[in-house]
Amino acid sequence: MTLVEITPPRFDTDTDITYATANNFTGAPVYGRPACFLHTQAADKLETAIALAAELDLRFLIFDAFRPSEAQWVLWNHTPDPEFLADPRRGSPHSRGVAVDLTLIDTDGNPLEMGTQFDDFTPLSHHGNTEISAHEQRNRHLLMGIMITAGWDFYRNEWWHYQLFDSRQYDLLGDDALPEPMMPR
């Protein structure tokens, strides 16, 4: 299998898999269960990012990682906005297992202020937006610096989204790529 489950102790991260709850932009759970998987190459780069963040007494909170192709259709059918969602006909880096949505948290588990919440589909979410405070801009730059240093690429419209370079070289995967389905049955 090309997917690795992102769990402790190998991966010292917290998770809040948002699409497994109703607390997402669709207003309903998309996943039947919370799970966090990445392609083996992405998992290796996440390990590097975790080590870099730890040097600064920071950790990651992951909102989403591998997203079955079936889930990408659910999101797209709800909000077909190509500025913030990949058209499932082309495929999302998430559905290839090579993208992760995350933020930084401090030693007490509190997320650093980033100017918007995860999945805020407005220009305030764009990297380099100067309408947020200088403190929030610094936190976004810190997150970006860690992730880029670890070998990730960023998506300009979403401060939380990072993916492997040349993500289209990886195969699109569905729910059947997992040992236990994520999608509701």
Q: Is residue 35 part of a domain?
A: yes
Is 183 contained in some domain? Answer: no
pLDDT at 20: 98
Backbone angles phi, psi at 157, to 5 degrees: -90, -10
Strand-pairing partners, residue 13, are none
What is the signed CA dihedral for 157, 125, 170, 89, rounded to 10 degrees?
Answer: -70
Is 184 inside any structural domain?
no
Low-confidence ranges of the chain (pLDDT < 50): none
User: Which pLDDT score, from 0 to 100, does residue 185 have?
Assistant: 83
Predicted pLDDT of residue 158:
97
Q: Residue 41 class from Cβ within 10 Å (0-12 exposed, 13-18 middle, 19+ buried)?
A: middle
pLDDT on residue 83: 87
Q: Note whether residue 144 is domain-resident.
A: yes
The catalytic residue among 5, 47, 158, 180 is 158
Q: How far apart are CA 67 and CA 167, in angstroms?
A: 14
Give domain status of residue 130, yes or no.
yes
pTM: predicted TM-score of the whole model, two decimal places: 0.97
Query: What range does the domain containing 105 cover?
Result: 3-177
Active site residue 158: yes
Q: Pick from 49, 7, 83, 4: which is nearest to 152 by CA?
A: 49
The one-letter amino acid code at 180 reads E
What is the domain-level CATH number for residue 26?
Answer: 3.30.1380.10
Residue 182, domain member (yes or no): no
pLDDT value for 26: 96
Residue 185 domain-assigned?
A: no
Number of domains making up the chain: 1
Instruction: Say if 139 falls within a structural domain.
Output: yes
Residue 1 confidence (pLDDT) = 57
